[in-house]
Every structure is written in C-alpha cells, then in structure tokens.
Amino acid sequence: MPPVTACLYAAAAVAAMMIVFWIVSVVRRDVSIVDSLWGPGFLVLILAAGYCGEGNSARTSLLTAVVALWSVRLSAYITRRNWGEGEDYRYREIRARHGEGFWFKSLFIVFGLQGLLMLIIGAPLLAVATLPSAPPFVAGDYLGVALFGVGFFFEAVGDRQLARFKADPANKGRVMDQGLWRYTRHPNYFGETLIWWGFFLLALPVSIGKYLVFSPMLMTFLLLRVSGVSLLEKGMVERRPQYADYIRRTSAFIPMPPKK
C-alpha cells in the first residue's frame, strides 16, 4: 500500500480509538481517561501503519516492540494512579470554562487535540512502518535502543519511586527528593525525552529520516515548557514551601549531583 494511504489508515485507527473513548468519557463525565491513551495511541498508530505499509519488516518490528513496551507500562501506571480519583483538576477547570457544552467540545479540544499531536509526534513511527527505503539495521540503531533503554529506566523507576513515596502516609505534604528524584526534579520527563530521541534514531535511516528531528524536538519542548515541567511546578512553591529549597539544590531536568 502506498505510504500516504497507509498513513491515512493509521490516522483513521487513532481517530476511531479517540472517538470510542470520548463516548466513554461522556458517559462517565470524566475526560481524564485521555491521559491513559497517550502511549496506546502510538502503539495503535504503528500497528496500523505496519499492517498496511511497506516498511522494512525487521526495523518495523523492532520499533513496534519498544513502543509496545513503553506504551503498555505508561498506560498501566497512569490508569492505576488515576483510578478512583475522579476527573483531574486540569480538566475540571476546562469543563468549568466551557460550561454545559463541554461534553461535545471535549471531542475536539481534548481527544481530538491529543489525537492530532499523536499523528505529528508519531511521524518517525509512521515513516519506519510505511517507507520501504530503510535498511534492516545500522550502527546508529544501537544508540537508539540504548537511549530508549536509559529513558525507559528513568521513567519507569522514577514513576515507581514517586508512587511508593506518595503511598506512605508519613510523606504527606513532603517533597519527594529520594532515589532518582535526588538528581533531577523530573526523572520521568527526562526519561520520556530520551525515549523519543531513541525513536528518532531508529527512524533516521529511512529516506526522510533527518527531517523527522522535529518529533523529539517538539516532545522535548512540550515536556519542558508546556505540559510537563512548567505546568507541574506552577504554584508548587505556594503549596509546598520546601519545594523552593528543592529547586535550589536539584537539577530541573538533566540528572546532576545535588548542590549543597
């Protein structure tokens, strides 16, 4: 199947997934479910593109495997974290701003927007699965897999450490500054960034590989300036005064020894 047609089939698969879960969110009156779809959306994207596309089978299988590992873990973690907590405060604020019509608007401003981001950021996955020009494996693939491995470690271990910290009643109101969080204030976001740079390196050998660098760059920007570090730390100092000291002695993103 031609690459453009295969990409359209993949986009349709993602759109169908988002519409189905939008209906679920309307019934439940909780759009927080969209957070759990972030990882699986990319898995659906590459599976659909790989089924229809003409990409190198070995490279497509490798990328599909690492995407599956990352997406299933991330979705399971987010789902378990949000279970029984009700709608996230971010979405409650959006719901309040849009009034009674939010149930319909959420299809576009929540689920539709996330689906569109998946298609843009997922360009390396689409390229590998649909373009036949990539060789099976090259030396740079080892670096791509290594970056993914390090990123997966930081994200998975960071999430696990934070979950255990929050589960202990003795830590209520305290700032997490142990384990990986001692060296970076956001080990999970740092790990997520490395994961996407790893995906990019695995897609680099395709004919348009070098042009796909916008994907990890955009992901890095979003995590640093939009939905990640900036959003999470906004108002954190007001809620937890000790967070200011944590900021002074701990790197915001790249792991480094803490300052004394």
User: What are the tokens at 168?
Assistant: 């202990």
User: What are the tokens at 66?
Assistant: 């690492």
Question: Domains of the chain: which residue ranges?
Answer: 1-134, 138-260
205 phi and psi angles, rounded to 5 deg: -70, -15
The per-residue pLDDT of the chain, averaged, comes to 92
pLDDT in tens, 222-238: 998 887 777 777 767 77
Which of 55-59, 163-167, 190-194, 238-242 comes out lowest in average pLDDT?
238-242
Cβ atoms of 152 and 70 closer than 8 Å: yes
Dihedral class, residue 86 (left if φ above 0, else alpha if ψ from -120 to 50, else beta):
left
User: What are the tokens at 227?
Assistant: 């939905």
Question: How does DSSP classify residue 178?
Answer: S
Question: How does DSSP classify residue 185?
Answer: S
pTM for the model stands at 0.93
pLDDT in tens, 193-250: 999 999 999 999 998 999 999 999 999 999 988 877 777 777 677 777 788 889 899 9
Higher pLDDT, 259 or 162: 162
Distance of CA 258 to the CA centre of its chain: 27
Cβ atoms of 210 and 140 closer than 8 Å: no
pLDDT in tens, 66-93: 999 999 999 999 999 998 888 988 899 8
Q: What type of residue sits at position 219?
A: M
